[in-house]
Amino acid sequence: MDPITLIVTALAAGSGADAVPAPQDDVRSAVTEVYARLRGLVRTCIADRPGAEFVLAQHEADPDTWAVPLAKELTEAGAAGETDLVEVATALMELVDESGARDGKYDVTITNSPRPPA
């Protein structure tokens, strides 16, 4: 999976944290926390892009409709090379889709990153 798709997918999954089954309250809490961190990192990444905050807010309300515009904003902001964004998005998907993460569904390789991995 490419980094932008992972970030957009994680944002969509995290905005639906209520989908985590009720007996897993500790998981729901972790999802909410990691989602907030991811959303904050995305907001920082797109801060200099006019209209991008609007796209992010719309994506949260309607991920299916706004996935492509958000992916475009993230791509143009250089999010694919932001290792912290990818790491947090991966962590969120590990919480939301443990079996998919275990099967390597969310494995991402970052190339040409402006910053070294943390």
DSSP state of 80: G
Residue count of the chain: 118
For residue 109, the model assigns a pLDDT of 59
- Is 106:90 a contact under the CB 8 Å cutoff? yes
- In the chain, how long is the greatest CA-to-CA distance? 42
Q: Where are the domains of the chain?
A: 3-102
The residues of the chain scoring below 50 in pLDDT are 22-23, 116-118
> What pLDDT digit, counting tens, does each position of 76-107 carry?
999 999 999 999 999 999 888 766 556 666 66
Q: pLDDT value at position 24? A: 65
Q: Phi and psi for 16 in degrees, rounded to 5?
A: -105, 40
pLDDT at 15: 84
Predicted pLDDT of residue 45 = 96
Q: What is the pLDDT of residue 66?
A: 96
Measured from the Cβ of residue 95, the count of other Cβ atoms closer than 10 Å reads 22
